[in-house]
């Protein structure tokens, strides 16, 4: 089942539509392909301004988690949108897993548990390593 919300027009139909608008002396149609990069730029500049203000007020530690989470969600959304539509669920799963593992590493590093976790996750010693057999 294919859900079609609107039919795409052929190049000839688009040319005719533009010609009709021109003959009726109407302004050209507004194109919105430049809006998303503008919003991205405004959002990035807003986060930068917020970070600089927090840094100058010595409150960067209080606002850093919020800035980091907004940045992570933005990167996550941009990463998911790069996948083809049929593979977006798999891409979202992989990116979520990477984000959660990164969060786990950050928490372990902050609390000082990196060494014990690496020792626990590393290869185990062999049962035969301590045995001494002589032939």
Q: What is the DSSP letter of 127?
A: T
Q: What is the pLDDT of residue 56?
A: 85
Q: What is the pLDDT of residue 1?
A: 46
Write down the pTM of the prediction. 0.42
Task: Tell me which residue of 126, 79, 121 sits closest to 99, measured CA to CA.
Answer: 79
Q: Where are the domains of the chain?
A: 64-118
Q: Could you read off the pLDDT of 74-115 as tens digits, one per residue?
A: 777 777 777 777 887 888 888 788 878 887 877 777 777 666
Per-residue pLDDT, averaged over 43-67, amounts to 81
Is 5 a residue whose pLDDT tops 60?
A: no
Q: What is the pLDDT of residue 61?
A: 78
Task: Tell me which residue of 58, 72, 64, 70 sits closest to 103, measured CA to CA.
Answer: 72
What is the C-alpha to C-alpha distance for residues 97 and 83, in angstroms, rounded to an integer?
Answer: 16
Distance of CA 7 to the CA centre of its chain: 31
């Amino acid at each position: 089942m294919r859900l079609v919300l609107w039919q795409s027009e052929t190049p000839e139909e688009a040319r005719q539509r533009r010609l009709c608008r021109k003959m009726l002396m109407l302004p050209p149609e507004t194109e919105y392909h430049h809006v998303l990069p503008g919003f991205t730029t405004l959002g990035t500049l807003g986060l930068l301004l917020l970070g600089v203000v927090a840094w100058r007020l010595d409150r960067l530690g209080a606002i850093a988690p919020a800035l980091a989470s907004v940045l992570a969600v933005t990167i996550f959304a941009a990463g998911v949108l790069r996948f083809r539509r049929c593979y977006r669920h798999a891409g979202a799963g992989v990116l979520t897993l990477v984000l959660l593992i990164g969060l786990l590493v950050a928490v372990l590093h902050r609390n000082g548990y990196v060494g014990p976790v690496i020792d626990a996750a590393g290869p185990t010693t062999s049962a035969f390593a301590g045995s001494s057999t002589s032939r």
